[in-house]
Amino acid sequence: MQLVLEKRAEQSTAAALVSPLVAIAATLATMSLLLALLGKNPAAALIVYFVDPLTDGYSLQEIAVKATPLVMIAVGLALCYLANAWNIGAEGQFLIGAVAGSWIAVKTQGTDAGHWVLPAMLASAAIAGALYALIPAIGKVRFGASEILTSLMLVYVAELFLDYLVRGPWRDPAGFNFPTTAEFDPVATVPVLVEGGRLHLGAILALLAVAAAAVLLGRTLKGFEIRVVGAAPRAARFAGFDPDRAILVTFAVSGALAGLAGIIEVAGPIGHLQPGISPGYGFTAIIVAFLGRLNPVGILIAGLFLALTFIGGEQAQIAMKIPLDVTKVFQGILLFYVLACDSLILYRFRFISKSPGVLRGTG
Amino acid sequence: MELVEAIILSVLAASTPLLIAATGELVTERSGVLNLGVEGMMIMGAACGLGGTWLTGSIIVGALCGMIAGMLLSLIFATMTLGLAVNQVATGLALTIFGIGLSGLIGAGFVGERIATAPHLHLPSPTDVPFGGRILFGQDGFVYLSLALIVAVRWFLYRTRAGLVLRACGDNHVSAHALGYPVLRIRLLATMFGGACAGLAGAYLPLAYTPFFIPGMTAGRGWIALALVVFASWLPGRLVIGAYLFGAVSILQLHAQGAGIGIPSQFMSALPYLATVIVLVALSRARSGGSTTPASLGTVFVPDR
């Protein structure tokens, strides 16, 4: 007996919709096993993870706040991955965006600068993120350097640069030597949507990004170009689509979105620049992009789901002393299952006997 | 001269994990498989390696634990990419995320525990020869092992039939399959070898470099090992040069920080990563197209029976 993969002639829509759900179910089963091994009651732990955060208004807001950067980054990454351009350095573009936006906030601190400050911060963050993402993209199209490795290396560089700024020139003199800038002025802060709440304007921007990407991919020639370049490079060349340009454009857009997410996180929920502003949003967003099957609307749902695991993970740590690393393991396993289930859409699995009879088959 | 000798010793120690991990990945990539999970396999090797030594007191058991951990992770990768024909880039990323999380869970039991590191070779007279003696005859066993490994891999790839078949799988899996070679099985073995090497390289960190485990202690070394394979144009000989160059950059920036030159430490710490970017760009330009790249690298292969 031998397992054989056969390419499906056509892909069913139902399978495409069901496969992420199968992946989540398989992940939950594996997690139950892991939790049992850790000596925790799996049922109780899964309720703390996935049900409790949905039952009170504060947690629901927190989920939306956490989903905001994830969705924004993942929408950009999906464009890259559709064009077969592998940007895995969104974490670095996120940090550089946060730094570039904070620069304006820090320089205008204590002055009577008006309401232009926040828009300027958002714009400079997007531009900085895009430029930072263009480094690996240009390295790829001009010199053929692997964008996977260069974009990832730049994450470490961005982390160290941010660390230098908040420990050196931008450190709050009244901050008791903590590595952080002073709290941003009100004009340099992303406003909350409901007075006294946590949900902020960034959530609206994330929804806009989802809508814009959905229109781009579904309704414009540019979106078609991106998808053709990724799925059928030869066909793209015959159509006159330039794969290099697709790489540059998708990297720039995803860098801009990641940078925007960075400054929104800093000027929104956090309120100042400090090391550790991201619990790995740039990497988790990769999972979000694939769980959403590289579809903007799917990404919105996937982003909310992964935000739920962050919030649930924090609550499980407090309530049941379950280590935070369980959340990372969960996310890794989820990505495995999502990818494996994608394979089920593309291929049909068949067991065949290894007898010589196979040779007679026409295939 | 004392200082120069100390620097060379620390360069060798810093380069060894890079060399071991990159050697394994080189074999994997030569068979046509791009496993981006090196960082995840290394950090799991570090956690399990320290665990093994802490429980048994034996460095060898620890090293074996690290290798097994790396190999098990590479088996997950192989099941996904070879068995289910999943995209190798995405699976490799998943493996890294998974490995970092799981190593944190496993390592939580040993955080703060110190162990005695691997002993250094000491031959009574040769080791005591002033400058040079300790460099040649005073290393820990892993350093010698890494050099033996690269010689063995070079011999295997270019001097044996099996090595030729492995390279054929990497360069043209359709032809290799048509000739009757079991492409997927060869790739499975190459991937497992890469996993074992990454695990061993990870285990080196707590067993010989810093005698304890901290989460995330690989600090991107797995990714640098991946870059080294590109740097070396998939040639074992150049891998040695690359690994020692990168080890030298990371040690020299430490010494520069210690010497208190007027550059902020963060900029110096960023040097190895920046150097990787610059080298990748410069080399790819020089090669213009990369003719030495295994032609089937990273592509999915589904045999048509």
pLDDT in tens, A41-61: 888 888 888 888 888 888 889
Q: Give B88→chain A minimum CA distance, Å.
A: 10
Among A6, A80, A118, A7, smallest CA distance to A289 is for A80
Please identify among residues 183-222 of chain A the ones whose CB lies closer than 8 Å to any CB of chain B.
Answer: none
What is the per-residue pLDDT for A357?
Answer: 44
* Alpha helical stretches, state H, A169-200: none
What are the beta bridge partners of residue A347? A7
- Residue B90, chain A, CB below 8 Å: the answer is yes
At A175-191, the pLDDT tens digits run 788 888 888 988 888 88
Would the CA dihedral through B179, B182, B188, B190 be positive or negative? negative
Please identify among residues 206-225 of chain B the ones whose CB lies closer than 8 Å to any CB of chain A.
Answer: 215, 219-220, 223
CB pairs under 8 A between A and B: 154
What is the per-residue pLDDT for B58?
Answer: 86
Domains annotated on chain B, with CATH: 2-115+141-287 (1.10.3470)
Which of the residues in chain B have pLDDT under 70?
A: 1, 122-128, 130-132, 260, 285-291, 305
Do residue B284 and residue A148 have CB atoms under 8 angstroms apart?
no
Q: Give A326→chain B minimum CA distance, Å.
A: 7
Question: Which of chain B's residues have a Cβ under 8 Å away from the Cβ of A352?
Answer: 305
pLDDT at A161 over 90: yes
- Residue A22, chain B, CB below 8 Å: the answer is no
What is the per-residue pLDDT for A362?
Answer: 40
Question: Which of chain B's residues have a Cβ under 8 Å away from the Cβ of A19?
Answer: none
Q: What share of chain A has pLDDT > 90, as a percent?
A: 44
- Residue A7, chain B, CB below 8 Å: the answer is yes
At B116-131, the pLDDT tens digits run 777 777 666 666 676 6
Do residue A160 and residue B280 have CB atoms under 8 angstroms apart?
no
Rounded CA separation A290/A126 (Å):
23
More confident of the two residues A262 and A331: A262
Would the CA dihedral through B275, B280, B281, B285 be positive or negative? positive
The values of phi and psi at residue B192, to 5°, are: -65, -40
Q: Give B116→chain A minimum CA distance, Å.
A: 27
- Residue A134, chain B, CB below 8 Å: the answer is no
CATH class of A48-320: mainly alpha
Rounded CA separation A35/A329 (Å):
11
At A299-342, the pLDDT tens digits run 999 999 999 988 988 888 888 888 888 888 888 899 899 888 88
Q: Where are the domains of chain A?
A: 1-33+322-363, 48-320
pLDDT at A201 over 80: yes
- Residue A146, chain B, CB below 8 Å: the answer is yes
DSSP state of B58: -
pLDDT at A360 over 50: no
Residues contacting residue A172 through CB under 8 Å, at least 6 positions apart = A178, A180, A181, A182, A272
Among B217, B214, B181, B170, smallest CA distance to B42 is for B217
- Residue B98, chain A, CB below 8 Å: the answer is yes
DSSP state of B113: -
- Residue B36, chain A, CB below 8 Å: the answer is yes
Q: Give B66→chain A minimum CA distance, Å.
A: 19
What is the per-residue pLDDT for A67?
Answer: 95
Q: Give B239→chain A minimum CA distance, Å.
A: 17
Max mean pLDDT among A205-209, A239-243, B113-117, B284-288 falls in A205-209
Alpha-carbon dihedral angle through residues A316, A321, A323, A329, given to the nearest 10 degrees: -50
Mean pLDDT value across chain A: 88
Do residue A164 and residue B264 have CB atoms under 8 angstroms apart?
yes
Max mean pLDDT among A125-134, A227-236, A348-357 falls in A125-134
pLDDT at A353 over 80: no
- Is residue A283 within 8 Å of residue A314, measured between CB atoms? no
How many helices and strands, by DSSP H and E, does chain B display? Answer: 12, 0
- Residue A168, chain B, CB below 8 Å: the answer is yes
